[in-house]
Structure 1
Amino acid sequence: MADVIVFDLYGVIARPQSPAAIRRIEETAGGSGASAAAFWDAYWDCRPPYDAGQDAADYWAAVADRVGARFPDVPALIEADLDSWVDVDPAMVELVGELADRGHTLGLLSNIIADLVPRFEARHGRWLSRFSALVYSCRIGVAKPDPRAYLACAERLGVAPGEVLFFDDREGNVAAAREVGMRAEVFRSADQVRELVFGLPERTA
């Protein structure tokens, strides 16, 4: 049985940006002259330094520079972006409580921007309190798949990497976790976690 379980946040417990949130960001960025495809390429390509602690204004300046445009209202764009990352999956929140109640030590290892942390914690503090370590890329200065991120998480939990079962929705992040000695799995569902931790079969639709 895995006693120490670490979860990625986005794509695992927290939901990715919804279509409505994506539309809001695109509309807020409107008037820049950049195509949607070019905008989102720049949004993601410029993200790693932002995840590692870069200032929001500098991030959006980098995105604007990449697409060769000027955003008409950067504060509103920042707000729309932050609001796009606060929804969670109730089934996973329930599982977090279940795991904690059964005595498992839980950790969170997330690539997350600094401005989002207080907003997310204010909304979801109750279930986040069940984690023994909340390890955020913006606070440790490195983001997954950098091996230092995984080692920092294990250190915060007071365990060796080999004692950790890690779940992430990105194969590259899972591969990097395995490289430092963690047992790691590509996340599919709450039932998948239950099967691996408790030996319960996954339910089929």
Structure 2
Amino acid sequence: MSTDRSRIVLFDLFGVIARHQRPGALEKMAARCHTSPDAFTTAYWTHRQPYDAGRHTASAYWTDVLQALSRPTDADTIEELRLTDIDSWSRVDERMVAYVRNLGDRARVALLSNIPADHADAFLAAHSWLHDLDLVAFSGKIRAAKPDPAAFQHCVTALHAAPADFLFVDDREENVRAAQAVGMNGHVFEGQDDLAAAIDAWLPAR
């Protein structure tokens, strides 16, 4: 079976290949900050976008979160929160990992994920299969986060392709619509079986 180098399946990471945040993680970090889970969750997500997009360092992000909660911003607390946060996003769906790796026999396979740079470094170190993909684009590294069109354009340029050559797979409809707006094909991920059928229909016959 030969790879169709003209077709590219571009995957989101979390909610597709990797699991969403570990249950209880936000509550654990809230307890470390001696604050309520609701207050912590609000501060955590309110300040997240610049961190995801590579415009804020981990230290700057956690300083913003702690200041929003009126908590001390000492280096030890920041590092403990940073490491707990990285661990909370570390789980993968092994069945999907196997599917993605096998798909490389049929098309080019790439990844576009909203993930801070330090999280990306940890994920790359822990998951060697990422190095086998045709492109790994992490928002914290490329300084553009979905649904910003620049994130999708980065992948188009890096792979010397046209937008129509891509099938973008994400569990968030907002991101799929953004990919379609720049000319990519899109699929909202709801499970591996539906995804496999969509990819089989999109790729040329074997």
TM-score normalised according to structure 1 size = 0.88
Deviation of 1:190 after TM superposition, in Å, equals 1.4
Could you tell me how far apart the structure 1 residues matched to 2:188 and 2:39 are?
A: 29
Q: Determine which of 32, 56, 59 is the counterpart of 1:57.
A: 59
Q: Determine which of 185, 191, 194 is the counterpart of 2:193.
A: 191
Q: Determine which of 176, 179, 183 is the counterpart of 1:181.
A: 183
Could you tell me how far apart the structure 2 residues matched to 1:21 and 1:62 are?
A: 19
Q: Deviations over 1:60-116 (max 9, x none)?
A: 111122233336722111110011111100111011122012x31011001111111
Q: Determine which of 14, 22, 26 is the counterpart of 2:26.
A: 22
Contact 2:26 2:37 (8 Å CA) reproduced = no
1:140 is the counterpart of 2:136: no
Q: Determine which of 78, 85, 94 is the counterpart of 2:82.
A: 78
Q: Deviations over 1:151-180 (max 9, x none)?
A: 101111221111100011111111111110
Match of 2:110 in 1: 107
Match of 2:127 in 1: 124
Contact 1:96 1:130 (8 Å CA) reproduced = no
Unpaired runs of 5+ in structure 2?
A: 202-206
SS at match of 1:69: coil
Could you tell me how far apart the structure 2 residues matched to 1:49 and 1:42 are?
A: 13
SS at match of 1:115: helix
Q: 1:31-46, aligned counterparts within 5 Å?
A: 31=34, 34-46=35-47
1:94 is the counterpart of 2:98: yes
Could you tell me how far apart the structure 2 residues matched to 1:36 and 1:15 are?
A: 21
AA in 2 matched with 1:120 = F
TM-score normalised according to structure 2 size = 0.88
Contact 2:113 2:138 (8 Å CA) reproduced = yes
Q: How many percent identity over aligned positions? A: 41
Contact 1:38 1:67 (8 Å CA) reproduced = yes
Could you tell me how far apart the structure 1 residues matched to 2:8 and 2:122 are?
A: 27
Could you tell me how far apart the structure 2 residues matched to 1:198 and 1:171 are?
A: 21
Unpaired runs of 5+ in structure 1?
A: 200-205
